[in-house]
Structure 1
Amino acid sequence: MRPALAQAVPRIPDGHGWWYEPKFDGHRTILRRTEETVILYARSGRVVTSHWMDLAVAAMQLPPGTTLDGEAVIWKDGRIDFAAAQSRAASGITRARALAAQRPASYLAWDVLEHPNQGQVTALPYTQRRQLLVDLLHDIPPPIQAVPATDDRDIAAAWYEGLQEQGIEGIVAKKGAAPYPLGRRAWLKVRHADTEDALVVGYLGPRRRPHRLALAIGDEGGPIRLSARLDPVLAGRIGEALTAAEALGERRAEGETYTRVDGYLTVEVLAGSGRHGTLTVTRMR
């Protein structure tokens, strides 16, 4: 299943039928409980179970036939620490397990895609899926929890204004009557940071410490743009994440040659930074 995506908007939408959820600053993760085990997938479909083994163990409490959509996050000193989640996701198996022992992860679920009794439920309205999710997780203890949700815009605005210090980066709005939008940008997101997502489809320079990135803004399919030169620390982190990417030969964009890779890594770029020049990468997603 291709996970649903959200389109950035400047303000929280108003009107009949909207539901709102806090937007947590972590790693998008699909969690699937099979008859025998638990498998976790990144947004790209890449299996990331070994990076989040503590969540896989906790999810064994779920009934087989359950697939959830949500966010893997790490709490530190009462707030969500994206850098800690980023380090975990970019680590090798041994280091990921060591980091899990130091700071266990939490899984914040906002949707159910497959239900143990009803099978695939993506065609159901959001409100029905939300009730299924709440009922499903009612007796499941942390670290697996359902995210808060409300149909009151005033409450959503209070979350947006009051929870930033806890690591809540914004609000996601969804139509209550809508099915799960597989692979489409049907949800809306309002973020404090003026950034947008870009898919890494290649790099310039050495793989371990790339100088620049080849990027598809939003999703693969649009014109490929080249980033500005990366900050050295950020380049090292991205280089670690790129070690597992499959090289697909050389391509050209904006008059330069880059090494094409299997796109699964997402970064944030400053919104609008690519209008008259190269894109400025702020961090990995």
Structure 2
Amino acid sequence: MTWSLPEPMLTVAVDSPALPAGWTAEPKWDGFRAQLAVHASGRVLLRSRQGTDMTGSFPEIREAALAQLPADTGLDGELVVWESGRLAFERLQQRLARRGTGAVEAARQWPAHYVVFDLVHAGGDVTGWPYQRRRAALEALFADHGLEAPLTLCPSTTDPATARGWLEWTAAGLEGLCFKRLDEPYRPTRSWRKYKVRVTTEAVIGAVTGSLTAPRTVLLGRYDIAGRLQYTGRSTTLSQHIGRALAAVLTPPMGGHPWQGWTFSSGWGTQRTLDVVLVEPKVVLEVAVDVARDSAGRWRHPVRPHRIRTDLDVAQVPLFGEDDTSI
């Protein structure tokens, strides 16, 4: 008999890290969401949230699944890669493009771990079980079969103090917390909650999308130790209030611009080039950022504009590459 993995259960963002009564908390990892199936036929499927087959890109996960998991097992979790004591999302992106011997070599260079946080199939469909029962069965699966790396059991707690303590892991790339109701079955809805750690920091506006009179988003930079303005990230869509305020202070470049001739992508997963307008890099913007970074230290997700810092000179902005996400 064959069976299929269910559609993944999804999250909705919340603004508070407080753990509600009747819920459990888990660390939110900076990786690839992935479901893993081991069929009785010996077929292994590692599937992304969008349904992409990633099995060939992560041979070490496939081998561990075949060697350690019982047949007819379905799991939900997160693929992560550690590098220099920090989660390295960009290595996952590089791994995803490799197949065959290239994937084997990449597995040696940047080995992945599969952090398991849910059980969806155990000899039969268990998605109708409440989370608490699925979690107990998942812990028993790890204990009874001696599962070990690269298969890893995600921590889970109903203790608010323990959950808050996990937020101190942001220096290692932990993004925040996930909250799951103890009595809820596994369903393809946005019923889980996620809290992402954000801090405010500053950057220099180097360009905008839209126009100088009606900017839509801003492209931000920071100076490196050699005095070069490096691109560090893009904002979310500006509010009308901030857009009007920026239109009053942004000016065209006076002479050459450090980003002259550069091109900017509209975001990860697309090759579309942004149409940008360069500005004189003299305006400092305070933004709210999360912990996700690429290998160069740029913000991987769009940042939220907070306010214009007319009281700050660009020389007072943190240098490119400095860590500003400690809490």
- TM range, smaller chain: 0.5 to 0.7
- What is the distance in 2 between the residues matched to 1:155 and 1:133? 20
Provide the C-alpha distance between the structure 1 equivalents of 2:127 and 2:149, rounded to a whole number of angstroms.
25
Q: CA deviation at 1:28?
A: 0.6
* Equivalence for 2:152: 145
Aligned to 1:140, the other structure's residue is in SS state coil
Q: 1:5 to 1:171 in 2, by over 3 A?
A: same
What does residue 4 of structure 1 align with?
9
Structure with greater strand percent: 1
Given the alignment, which residue of 113, 123, 126 partners 2:128? 123
Per the alignment, residue 104 of structure 2 pairs with 97
Deviation at 1:94, TM superposition (A): 4.4
Q: 3-state SS of the aligned residue for 2:149?
A: coil
- Report the residue type matching 1:73 in the other structure: V
Unmatched 5+ residue regions in structure 2? 1-5, 200-236, 238-261, 273-299, 306-327
* Match of residue 162, structure 2, among 143, 152, 155: 155
Deviation, 1:113, is 0.3
Q: Write out aligned runs for 1:187-206 (5 A).
A: 187-193=192-198
Aligned to 1:270: 302
Q: Distance in 2 between matches of 1:126 and 1:232?
A: 46
Counterpart residue number, 2:46: 40
Query: 1:192-217: CA deviations, max 9, x gaps?
Result: 258xxxxxxxxxxxxxxxxxxxxxxx
Moved over 6 A (4+): none
Output the amino acid matched with 1:144: L
Structure whose alpha-carbon radius of gyration is higher: 2
Matched, 1:108 2:115: yes
Counterpart of 2:30 in structure 1 is 25
Query: How far apart are the structure 2 equivalents of 1:78 and 1:190?
Result: 23
Q: CA deviation at 1:13?
A: 3.8
SS in 2 for 1:238: coil
CA displacement, residues 73-101 of structure 1 (integer Å, 9 cap, x when unaligned): 11112221111112112345443332112
Distance 1:93-1:137 versus aligned 2 partners, 3 A rule? same
Q: What's the CA shift for 1:165?
A: 1.2
- 1:237–1:191: structure 2 CA closer, same or farther, 3 Å change rule? closer
Residues 104-145 of structure 1: per-residue CA shift (max 9 Å, x gap): 1100000000013xx111111111100111111121111101
**Distance change in 2, residues 1:74/1:239 (3 Å):** same
| 3-state secondary structure, aligned to 1:2 | coil
- CA deviations on 1:134-190 (whole Å, 9 max, x unpaired) are 111121111101100000111111111x101122111000111111122x1100001
Distance in 2 separating the partners of 1:188 and 1:103: 30
Rounded Cα–Cα distance in structure 2 between residues aligned with 1:145 and 1:31: 13
Q: Unpaired runs of 5+ in structure 1?
A: 195-226, 243-267, 274-285
Q: 1:29 & 1:156 partners in 2: Cα distance?
A: 23
Report the CA distance shift for 1:37/1:232 in structure 2 as closer, same or farther (over 3 A).
Answer: farther
Question: What is the alpha-carbon distance in structure 2 between the residues aligned to residue 185 and residue 31 of structure 1?
Answer: 20
Number of the residue aligned with 2:60: 54
1:125–1:178 Cα contact (<8 Å) kept: yes
Aligned length: 210
Shift of 1:235: 6.9
Percent identical among aligned pairs is 33
Cα drift, residue 271 of structure 1 = 6.4
Matched, 1:78 2:85: yes
**Which residue number in structure 2 is paired with residue 63 of structure 1?**
70
Amino acid at match of 2:83: K
Task: Give the conservation status (yes or no) of the 8 Å contact 1:13–1:173.
Answer: no
2:131 and 2:139 map into 1 onto residues whose CA distance is: 12
- Cα separation, partners in 2 of 1:146 and 1:193, compared to 1, 3 Å: same
Inter-CA distance 148–233: structure 2 relative to 1 (3 Å threshold): farther
Question: Does the 8 A contact of 2:80 with 2:88 survive in 1?
Answer: yes
Structure 1 distance, partners of 2:27, 2:58, is 22
CA-atom RMSD, angstroms? 2.7
Segment drifting more, 62-71 vs 11-20: 11-20
